[in-house]
Amino acid sequence: MTGRIFVPGDAAAVAVGADEVAAALLREAPDLSLVRTGSRGLFWLEPLIEVQTPAGRIGYGPVTAADVPGLLAAGLRDGGAHPLRLGRPEELPFLRRQTRLTFARCGIVDPRCLDDYRAHGGYAGLARAVSLGPAATLEEVVQSGLRGRGGAGFPTGIKWRTVAAAPGAPKFIVCNADEGDSGTFSDRMIMEGDPFVLIEGMTIAGFAVGATRGYIYVRSEYPHAIAALNDAIAIARATGWLGTNIADSGFAFDIEVRVGAGAYVCGEETALLDSIEGRRGQVRAKPPLPAHVGLFGQPTVINNVISLATVPVILAEGAARYRDLGMGRSRGTMPIQLAGNVRHGGLFEAAFGVTLGELVDDIGGGTASGRKVRAVQVGGPLGAYFPRALFATPFDYEAFAAADGLIGHGGVVVFDDTVDMAEQARFAMEFCAIESCGKCTPCRLGSTRGVEVMARIMRGEHVAANRALLVDLCETMKFGSLCALGGFTPYPVISALTHFPEDFAGPPLHAAAA
Amino acid sequence: MLAPEPWSAERAAEVIDRHRARPGPLLPLLHELQEVFGCIPDQAIRPVAEALNLSRAEVHGVVSFYHDYRRSLPGRHVLKLCQAEACQAMGCRSLAAQACEQLGIGMGETTADGRVTLEAVYCLGLCATAPSAMLDGAVHGRLTPGRLDLLLDGLT
A442 shares its domain with A404: no
Judge contact between A442 and A486, C-beta under 8 A.
Answer: yes
Domain final position from A416, A439, A461? A416
pLDDT, tens digit (0-9, with 9 covering 90-100), for A439-485:
999 999 999 999 999 999 999 999 999 999 999 999 999 999 999 99
Which contacts of B152-156 are long-range, i.e. CB under 8 A and separated by 24 or more positions? B152/B79, B152/B99, B152/B102, B152/B103, B152/B116, B155/B76, B155/B77, B155/B79, B155/B115, B155/B116, B156/B76, B156/B115
Cβ pair A340:B124 closer than 8 A: no
A171 in helix, strand or coil?
coil
A73 shares its domain with A221: no
- Does the pLDDT value for residue A308 go beyond 60? yes
Q: What is the dihedral of CA A70, A75, A80, A83, to 10 degrees?
A: 0
pLDDT, tens digit (0-9, with 9 covering 90-100), for A400-410:
999 999 999 99
Domain final position from A323, A352, A374? A323
Where does chain B hold its CATH 3.40.30.10 domain(s)?
Answer: 77-153
A283 shares its domain with A145: yes
A180 shares its domain with A68: no
pLDDT, tens digit (0-9, with 9 covering 90-100), for B58-113:
999 999 999 999 999 999 999 999 999 999 999 999 999 999 999 999 999 999 99
Q: Tell me the pLDDT band of A3, cut-offs 50, 70 and 90.
A: confident
A285 shares its domain with A139: yes
A51 shares its domain with A179: no
Q: How far is A225 from chain B (nearest CA, A)?
A: 11
Q: Which residues of chain B neighbour A15 with C-beta distances below 8 Å?
A: 126, 129, 132, 139-142
Cβ pair A276:B24 closer than 8 A: yes
A181 shares its domain with A315: yes
Is A285 within a domain?
A: yes
Q: What is the pLDDT of residue A513?
A: 46
A486 shares its domain with A438: yes
- Does the pLDDT value for residue A18 go beyond 50? yes
This model's pTM is above 0.95: yes
- Residue A223 has its nearest CB partner, among B23, B26, B137, at B137
- Which residue range forms the structural domain that includes residue A477? 421-513
Domain final position from A278, A294, A323? A323
A190 shares its domain with A317: yes
Is A102 within a domain?
A: no
Is A389 within a domain?
A: yes
Cβ pair A413:B127 closer than 8 A: yes
- Residue B129 has its nearest CB partner, among A16, A276, A434, at A16
- Does the pLDDT value for residue A44 go beyond 90? yes
Mean pLDDT of A236-258: 95
Helix H or strand E encompassing A72: helix A68-73
Q: Tell me the pLDDT band of A489, cut-offs 50, 70 and 90.
A: very high
Mean pLDDT of A205-219: 98
Assign residue A37 the CATH number of its domain.
3.40.30.10
A355 shares its domain with A496: no
- Does the pLDDT value for residue A1 go beyond 60? no
CATH number of B77-153: 3.40.30.10
Domain count, chain A: 4
Assign residue A169 the CATH number of its domain.
3.40.50.11540
Q: How far is A80 from chain B (nearest CA, A)?
A: 28
Q: What is the pLDDT of residue A514?
A: 41
